[in-house]
A and B are shown apart, each in its own frame.
Chain A
C-alpha cells in the first residue's frame, strides 16, 4: 500500500492566522518531504526529513515551519502567510533518501491565503 494521507484537503486562511498541514504514512518510510506546487508548474521541494531529522531546507521563508514528531508524521506549520503562498502543498515519502528511492506523493492540501 503506497498511501500518504494529508489533511486538510482544502484550507483557507487569513494572513494573520496560524494553521497546520498534516501528513501521515504507514509504509515504514524513513524519509518525508514537503513540496509546493503552483498551477501548471512542477512540484518544488521545500523540506526533506530523514530519520526524523531535517536534512534539506530549500531556503524556505520562516513563515513555513516543518515538524516531524515521529517517523510516520510530518507537519507544516503556517503563520503570517502571503497571498502568493496559495498553492497545492504536497507531502511525500520514500523508504530512505538515497537517490534511487521512489518518492510517493499524498493527495495534497489546497491552500488559499486571503
Chain B
C-alpha cells in the first residue's frame, strides 16, 4: 500500500518568513496530492491540492510543487502570519483498487511567531 513520509514534524518561523514542508510517497500510481490544515480542535481543511499532470500550483501565499520522478511534493507558504499556525497534513490518493483511500503523512506542527 501507499506510504507517505512528511518532514519536518515541527517547524517554527518568524512572521513574514517562508515555510516549506516536504512529503515523499511510495506508490507510483498515486495521482492526487492534497494538503490539509488543521487548527486546534477543528476539522482538517483542504488548503491546496495538486494532480499528477501538473508540476506546480499556486494560490496566493500558498504553493505546492510535485516531482513525480522523485515521488515527492512540497508545500510552500510565503509571508507567514500567526494565523498560519496549525498542523499541516499532506496526503496521497492512489488509483486502482485504492479508491477513496487517502494516506496521510504524520503531520507538521507549524508555529509562526509574531
Contacts and interface: CB of A to CB of B under 8 A. Distances in A.
B43 A90 contact: yes
B106 A41 contact: yes
A99 B96 CA distance: 8
Given A40-B107, A105-B44, A107-B42, A100 B100 contact: no
A100 B105 CA distance: 18
Interface string B77-114: 00000000001010101111011111011110000000
Interface in B7-41: 30-32, 34, 36
Given A41-B106, A42-B104, A43-B104, A50 B43 contact: no
A36 to B, nearest CB: 12
A16 B101 CA distance: 32
Contacts, number: 67
Nearest to A45: B101
A42 B89 CA distance: 7
Contacts of B98: 99
Chain B interface size range: 20 to 34
Contacts of A25: none
B87 to A, nearest CB: 8
Given A42-B107, A43-B44, A100 B102 contact: no
Contacts of A86: none
B3 interface: no
A105 B39 CA distance: 13
Across chains A and B, which 10 residue pairs bring their CB atoms closest together, nearest first? A42-B104, A97-B100, A97-B99, A99-B95, A48-B100, A105-B43, A100-B32, A99-B93, A107-B43, A105-B44
17 contacts: A42-B107, A43-B102, A45-B101, A45-B102, A48-B101, A50-B99, A55-B100, A99-B93, A99-B94, A99-B95, A99-B96, A100-B32, A102-B34, A103-B34, A103-B100, A104-B46, A107-B42
Interface of A: 31, 33, 40-43, 45, 48, 50, 55-56, 90, 94, 97-108
Interface of B: 30-32, 34, 36, 42-46, 49, 51, 87, 89, 91, 93-96, 98-102, 104-107
